[in-house]
Structure 1
Amino acid sequence: MNNKKDKKSRENDLAPSEKVEGALRGAKRFIPRQMFSFFQPTYHYLLSIFAALWYKFPARDLIVIAVTGTKGKSTTVELLLHLLRAGGLKVAGASTVRFTIDKKEERNLYKMTLPGRFFLQRFLYNAKLAGCTHAVIEITSESVSQYRHKWLFLNALVFTNLSPEHIESHGSYEKYIEAKLDIARELEHSKKGNRVIVVNGDDNESQKFLSLSIPRKLNFELDDTRPFALESTHARATIFGKPITFPLPGEFNILNALGASMTAKEFGVSEETIRKALSEFEGVKGRVERVIQDGVSVPFDVIVDYAHTPDSLEKLYRAFPGQRKVCVLGNTGGGRDKWKRALMGGIAGYYCDEIILTNEDPYDEDPLTIVVEMATGIKKKKYEILMDRRLAIREALKRAGQGDIVLISGKGTDPYIMGAKGTKEPWDDATVVREELTRLASL
């Protein structure tokens, strides 16, 4: 593809409001860094309110459900969209995985959950024009510093869980928690009626969310779903007093399903409809995604997952207790959260039978340095370093045998491998797996 032509085409497609944001970003280059840092909060706030004004505050006319937490946000968004649609509602959704307005969808290629403020407000405006009544929005802590969570006039918030992440950008875990609470305070201060917060009561920080002045507070816990059973391809759990089976492995996915179910019920979807829809759910791309290639049969399983924090990586590995694990590990990007590198290597060393360390998103950091720092956490297991991510996946598939599971973590649906000076290599873990499975079958 001609990159210059493609860029020009995208520029021509921009709304006038986004061109304003682009012009302001260009002007930043001529402002001294210290001066801009001082005025940065004002800059972001003004952009945020200008975007909402330009599109006439579309969230006022929608029922807006936000989902936040460290892990499980995208899966919960996808579950909620599925359940609300099953209930006959016309919905829109924005997440790290994709953007959907009714039956139209677009893969999220931005390498961020919430793109520019203008994008989100235009998205909500277009959802309103399309006749959607509900919007489900994934909100991250990093979007708070740029006020991307403002002017959403929330009706509901689902809180999934909290564990350390983005510590270097926030300054501390306490400030990270505060950023998440700022999202909940948007619900607290929303003028809409019938507001509800749905909170994972098993999380250590749950009371901070439940203590806010929100009219309706719902608490869900794993014990609510007992008796439950976990298999490598699905989970069996009790939802609203009756047992169901749905194709999402792991205790964490039972909690995601329960949080989404309780929220959907709040907006009029019946318990029977929710249970039926859960049993028919097809999963989420890049989130414990089981990858197969048509026409290729192998005696092992392959899973692609976004797990990029120590807690999420451990829960991914624990979701498959009975299988020999061949792990491709590359889930610590450059320039951030260096504290977790050795820790994640240690988790792989504890749970995995074979470990291949590889590249993920080095940005401006030396990629080999990142991987070596991960390796320092592996104490008693042998490991191999293959910096070419494709070759690492190829080697893992070659090593897998009868009944094994290949676990490829860190990128999920990320569309690029990000390199130095803004370079990016188009990428998709699941696509590469399928290509390599075809190659393996031809040998």
Structure 2
Amino acid sequence: MVTLRPSHTQPVALGELATQLGLPAPGSAVAVAGVTLDSRSVRSGDLYAALPGANVHGASFAAGAAAAGAVAILTDPTGAEVITGAGVDLPVLVVPDPRAVLGGLAARVYASPPAGLALVGITGTNGKTTTAYLLDSALRALGQQVGLVGTVETRVGPTRVKSERTTPESTEVHALLAAMHEAGCATCVMEVSSHALTLHRVDGVVYDVAVFTNLSQDHLDHHGSMERYFQAKASLFTPERARHGIVCVDDQWGRRLAADAPIPVTTLAGGAEADADWRIIADPDDPAAFALTGTDATLDLRSALPGDFNRVNTALAALVLLQLGHDVDDVVAAVRTDPHVPGRMERVTPTGGGTAPLAVVDYAHTPEAVAAALAALRGHTAGSIVVVLGAGGDRDTTKRAAMGAAAAHGAALVIVTDDNPRSEEPAAIRAAVLAGARSADATAQISEIPDRREAISAAVAEAIRRGPGSAVAVVGKGHESGQDIAGVVHPFDDRVELQTALDAWCGGGA
């Protein structure tokens, strides 16, 4: 497990941390140089946070943490009893909810967020990763060292580490911010998930700019309702978490957020007729070109990725750059830099080139994202669209039928297959998606091929059979390089499998 931290920290007395928590100072003089909640990541001088887990309490690993060099432990009353029973001889800070105070402690130990590092936090159901990569690309074009934290990877300057979740735990977040500052980064661009906001992962961070892309059904297994999901997102746009907001008002949630946010907000609308500070005016002759028009300026921009939603993502990135103080002309030039956004409307071609159907992989895993991806693809093909999709197990079950319906409305052929079934029965997940597709008032053909590799190959073959101008969209997993089946992650990359199928059916471009 790779954990990125600064190479140097100024140790903080454990007594100072106890005082911060309102606890009496421990009797021993202990200095804390790092913080972690993962016993496998403990380094000498660390405060180990032993948190209650879904199956095992982190206090069960306290002895191992002590052996690895931990100098103190933060836990709850239950954890304290476990630690005492295990005979671990370390100072213990006991609070009712250790997760809720962990961000503040990590911020103190890592002196984070560091002065001079501009922070951008991006939230929303769809578009977080694309907007983050657009910003990263533009900032690099402006000559900056950039830190990136998100669904695909974490970057500290040139160093890259594959991400385990969209937003890391608070201990990692503050360590990363300190490491970015140490590496000379001028800006950190971070995807901020709703889970991160409700589970205290970004506590202690105040973003210079917070960005809202959109809100649609997702993660209701965690939040329980759209209202609670919205409130989680809206909490980013408070003085405790951000100084300025940029909000897309194309949906009801964005309009509500812009009206109610207690911080200054700049609004963006995807159409010329909408009421907003900035509006997108599409070029009728060029789907990639558009004008971003505000009260005092107009920026002539181009979207490097297809679809109306990517014009919005591009405009959001431009507005962030303006808010950070970059010159208009520099912003236009920087945003025109062509980024690589892994698994987001990512085109896949045969190894040897040659004639093949237009084929893309996209991370779309909500009804709205599936519809938007297929609509974007429709703008680039005159033939039939064949879509391969499934739905993830152990996640929001209520969106599965709607995903199937969205696919049926946007494609000529829908091939339902397995995504990441995780601990659920794959056939039951497919049945829900199939039911939605078949109930849609659409003319699409519906097919079921459980094996995802076979489904992708069949989609390419069918697109070829349907003739020139046809296209293939493989949606749901995007950049992911594994398929989780019954707790075992098997190597599987939609981009690799799609290219293999194109090579097989198109003769490798020969």
Partner of 1:124: 177
Describe the shift of the 1:301–1:155 C-alpha distance in structure 2 as closer, same or farther (beyond 3 A): same
Q: Deviations over 1:182-235 (max 9, x none)?
A: 1222xx235x8xx32111122212244323232x4211111222133487xx61
Which 5+ residue runs of structure 2 have no aligned equivalent?
Answer: 1-37, 62-77, 80-93, 273-278
Aligned counterparts of 2:364 and 2:303: Cα–Cα separation in 1: 21
Which 5+ residue runs of structure 1 have no aligned equivalent?
Answer: 1-9
Aligned counterparts of 2:183 and 2:383: Cα–Cα separation in 1: 46
Describe the shift of the 1:177–1:318 C-alpha distance in structure 2 as closer, same or farther (beyond 3 A): same
Describe the shift of the 1:59–1:308 C-alpha distance in structure 2 as closer, same or farther (beyond 3 A): farther
Find the partner of 1:179 among 232, 237, 240. Answer: 232
Find the partner of 2:313 among 256, 265, 273. Answer: 256
Partner of 1:347: 406
Is 2:495 aligned against 1:440?
no
3-state DSSP of counterpart to 1:269: coil
Partner of 1:306: 363
Partner of 1:418: 484
Find the partner of 1:165 among 186, 204, 218. Answer: 218
Aligned counterparts of 1:389 and 1:18: Cα–Cα separation in 2: 44
More displaced, 174-183 or 53-62?
53-62
Q: Which has the higher contact order (CA 8 A, sep 6+)?
A: 1
Measured after TM superposition, the shift of residue 347 of structure 1 is: 1.6
The amino acid across from 1:163 in the alignment is: S
- 1:268-279 map, 5 Å: 268-279=325-336
3-state DSSP of counterpart to 2:252: coil
Aligned counterparts of 1:120 and 1:230: Cα–Cα separation in 2: 44
Partner of 1:403: 469
Describe the shift of the 1:14–1:238 C-alpha distance in structure 2 as closer, same or farther (beyond 3 A): farther
Measured after TM superposition, the shift of residue 407 of structure 1 is: 0.4
Aligned counterparts of 1:30 and 1:101: Cα–Cα separation in 2: 32
Greater helix fraction, Structure 1 or Structure 2: 1
The amino acid across from 1:153 in the alignment is: V
Partner of 1:144: 197
Is 2:86 aligned against 1:86?
no
Describe the shift of the 1:369–1:277 C-alpha distance in structure 2 as closer, same or farther (beyond 3 A): same
Partner of 1:196: 244
Aligned counterparts of 1:18 and 1:140: Cα–Cα separation in 2: 27
Describe the shift of the 1:309–1:18 C-alpha distance in structure 2 as closer, same or farther (beyond 3 A): farther
Q: Deviations over 1:338-381 (max 9, x none)?
A: 11111111122222111211111111110111001110112354
Partner of 1:64: 119
Partner of 2:254: 206
Is 2:68 aligned against 1:20?
no
Aligned counterparts of 2:329 and 2:113: Cα–Cα separation in 1: 32
> Is the 8 Å Cα contact of residues 17 and 118 (structure 1) preserved in structure 2?
no
Measured after TM superposition, the shift of residue 286 of structure 1 is: 0.6
Measured after TM superposition, the shift of residue 14 of structure 1 is: 5.6
Which structure has the bigger radius of gyration?
Answer: 2
Identity, in percent, stands at 28
Measured after TM superposition, the shift of residue 181 of structure 1 is: 1.1
Describe the shift of the 1:61–1:49 C-alpha distance in structure 2 as closer, same or farther (beyond 3 A): same
Find the partner of 2:302 among 245, 268, 287. Answer: 245
Describe the shift of the 1:208–1:164 C-alpha distance in structure 2 as closer, same or farther (beyond 3 A): same
> Is the 8 Å Cα contact of residues 248 and 283 (structure 1) preserved in structure 2?
no
More displaced, 69-78 or 59-68?
59-68
Aligned counterparts of 2:421 and 2:184: Cα–Cα separation in 1: 42
Measured after TM superposition, the shift of residue 272 of structure 1 is: 1.8
> Is the 8 Å Cα contact of residues 237 and 262 (structure 2) preserved in structure 1?
no
Scaled by the length of structure 1, the TM-score of the pair is 0.86
Aligned counterparts of 1:50 and 1:44: Cα–Cα separation in 2: 10
3-state DSSP of counterpart to 2:398: helix
Measured after TM superposition, the shift of residue 408 of structure 1 is: 0.5
More displaced, 236-245 or 387-396?
236-245
> Is the 8 Å Cα contact of residues 90 and 134 (structure 1) preserved in structure 2?
yes
Scaled by the length of structure 2, the TM-score of the pair is 0.75
Measured after TM superposition, the shift of residue 425 of structure 1 is: 1.3
Measured after TM superposition, the shift of residue 104 of structure 1 is: 3.0
